Amino acid sequence: MAQKLHPSKSVQEMGGILCCVQVDQSTVAIREQFGKFDEVLEPGCHCLPWFVGKRLAGHLSLRLQQLDVRCETKTKDNVFVNVVASIQYRALADKASDAFYKLTNTRSQIQAYVFDVIRASVPKLNLDDAFEQKNEIAKAVEDELEKAMSAYGYEIVQTLIVDIEPDEHVKRAMNEINAAARLRVAANEKAEAEKILQIKRAEGEAESKHLSGLGIARQRQAIVDGLRDSVLGFSVNVPGTTAKDVMDMVLVTQYFDTMKEIGASSKSSAVFIPHGPGAVRDVATQIRDGLLQASTQDHLS
């Protein structure tokens, strides 16, 4: 605040005896003659002849000063907020007389203009827009103060909206809305991830079944090829035997090998199958027909 300081008793006594006064740096003094403004005294030592009616009316600081103004107002969506504005100002040396005489309380005057501008600007904005347009609000306050305070000898250096603070319940509700929105996004992302996993799992199962089918088909083809080679080799080495005789013998041998493995397995369950020469012939016929049918399907596919 630009303070109007009257000379102390010791200064007055020195001025009365020696007719001189000292003005400190970054300060100007106001000299009057017979109660009327006479001159602005710059920093340094000045003559003050009291016998011709001259006296020191007071001092005026030229330093940069700051005023924080807290203003309560309402937004367009009916939310009460406290807006904190920081005003940096200083008195102009070439208008020191105006700054000294025209205003009784500089800080109260600035505060009144800040209240007027903020309460005219913020109610036009929603709460979210007020946060986004802090710079525009500060610029409006600065322009209004510059026009008003320049007539009183003051310069507005900078105006900042340092805080917009809603009621505690409003802030809690805003945080809950934000948290709910983030949870919704997280749920969507999780669902998409599970969907991708299911698709990849299905693709993997399809590929696995495809490869398993190829393996089974190749296994059957290998069995058929092995049996065919065995039949052809036996027919060549043993004259007079037909392919059917050799096939029946191979299948019977396989049948008994299977019976042996079932009986040797300690964890096998009880298996009831017909046994005897007729049963063996029937089993051989069924196996042979099944292998021939599988081979035919493999060739067709």
Look at residue 181 in the predicted model and tell me its pLDDT. 80
Checking if the pLDDT of 274 tops 50, the result is: yes
Look at residue 208 in the predicted model and tell me its pLDDT. 87
Closest CA to 71 of 138, 148, 157: 138
* Mean pLDDT, residues 132-144: 91
Residue 70: strand pairing partners:
84
Q: Residue written as tokens 């940069």? A: 64
Closest CA to 89 of 75, 103, 78, 77: 103
Distance in angstroms (rounded) separating the CA atoms of residues 281 and 287: 10
* Mean pLDDT, residues 69-74: 91
DSSP notation for 200-230:
HHHHHHHHHHHHHHHHHHHHHHHHHHHHHHH
Give pTM, 2 decimals.
Answer: 0.53
Quick one: pLDDT band at residue 5, thresholds 50, 70, 90?
Answer: very low
Look at residue 13 in the predicted model and tell me its pLDDT. 41
**What is the per-residue pLDDT across 10-52, written as a single tens digit (0 to 9) for each?**
444 444 455 788 888 889 998 888 888 888 888 888 888 877 8
Look at residue 299 in the predicted model and tell me its pLDDT. 60
Strand order in the sheet with 54-61: 36-41, 27-33, 54-61
Closest CA to 142 of 127, 155, 129, 153: 155
Checking if the pLDDT of 67 tops 90, the result is: yes
Angle between helices 243-264 and 277-300 (to 10 degrees): 110
Distance in angstroms (rounded) separating the CA atoms of residues 142 and 161: 10
At 37, list the tokens. 């403004």
Checking if the pLDDT of 90 tops 60, the result is: yes
Checking if the pLDDT of 203 tops 80, the result is: yes
